[in-house]
Structure 1
Amino acid sequence: MRLFYNIAGVLAVILGVVGIFLPLLPTTPFLLLASACFARGSVRLHRWLLSHRVFGAYLRNFEEGRGIPLKAKIVATALLWLSLLGAMGRVDHLGLQALLLATGIGVSTYMWRYLPTLRLPRQEQPPHDA
C-alpha cells in the first residue's frame, strides 16, 4: 500500500507542477494530495515536500491549520474564475456549463468561508528620517 501512496504522490507532484503553467490544471489540490499521499507512504518524501523551497511553507501552513495567505486566495480565486469562465464560453452544453459554475461556487465558498486566511506578521517599518 505504501508503494501506491508514493506513486500517487509523485504523479500528484508532477500534475501540480504542470498546473503552474496550465491555467485549467490546479496546482494546490495536487500538491495537497501529494503531501497526504507521502504522509502515508514515505516519511522521507513527505519531509522533502514540506521542506521544498517553493511549496514547503505553503503546505506546512495548510497542514498545521494556519491557512493560506490572503494574496494567494485572491490570486487563486481570480485564476479559477478566469479559467472557468473561459471554459464555459467554449462549451455549448448547458449541463457542463452548470457543472463548471457549481464547481467554481463550491471551490470559492470553501476557500473563503472554511479555509483560514494566514495572518502574516507585519514587518517592522524602517524609521523615517526627518
Structure 2
Amino acid sequence: MHPVSRAWMQIAGWGLFILGAVGIVLPLLPTTIFWIGAVWCWSRSAPHLTKRILAHPRFGQPVYLFITYGEISRMGKWMAVLGMSLGFAIFQLIGSPGWQLSLAVLLLLTLVAIWLWQRPEPTLSRQG
C-alpha cells in the first residue's frame, strides 16, 4: 500500500475507533459498527491495531464474528434496532424535521434493520 494511502487508512481507523469508544459511554452511539470499520481500515494499514480491537473483552468477539463470518448475534440485532429506534425518536423530538426528511430517514433505518436481521447468527460453537 502506498504510504499516503496507508496514512489515510490509519487516520480513518482512528476516527472510527474514537467514535466507537465514545459509544461505550453514550447509549445511542454504537460501538461495534465503528470498530468493525476501524478493523477494516487497520487491517490494511496497521494490523497490530486490529489485534487490539479483536482482543477487547466485550466488543472483540462481535467484531471478529462479523468480519470473519458476517454473523451478528440476536442480542446485537435487537440492540442495534433499539438504538436506531431511540435515535429516530430523539431526531423527531429535537430535530423537528419536515415530513420528507422524516420519511427518508425512517426508510433508510428500516432498510438497515431488514438487512441486519438477514445476517446469520453465530453458531453455538462460536458464541462466547
**TM-score interval, normalised by the smaller of the two chains:** 0.7 to 0.9
Q: Using the alignment, how far apart are the partners of 2:70 and 2:28 within structure 1?
A: 26
Contact 2:32 2:62 in 1 (8 A): no
How many pairs align?
A: 120
Q: Using the alignment, how far apart are the partners of 1:19 and 1:106 within structure 2?
A: 22
User: Helix, strand or coil: the match of 2:69?
Assistant: coil
What's the % identity of the aligned pairs?
31
Q: Which has the higher helix share?
A: 2
Q: 2:20 aligns with which of 5, 16, 38?
A: 16
Matched residue, 2:87? 83
1:50 aligns with 2:54: yes
TM-score norm. by structure 1 comes to 0.81
**Which sections of structure 2, spanning at least 5 residues, go unmatched?**
none
Letter of the 1:15 counterpart: L
Q: Which moved more, 1:10-19 or 1:59-68?
A: 59-68
Contact 1:69 1:119 in 2 (8 A): no
Larger radius of gyration: 1
Residue 63 of structure 1 and its aligned partner are, at CA, apart by 1.2
Contact 1:50 1:59 in 2 (8 A): yes
Matched residue, 2:113? 108
Residue 82 of structure 1 and its aligned partner are, at CA, apart by 1.9
Contact 1:49 1:55 in 2 (8 A): yes
**Which sections of structure 1, spanning at least 5 residues, go unmatched?**
122-130
TM-score norm. by structure 2 comes to 0.82
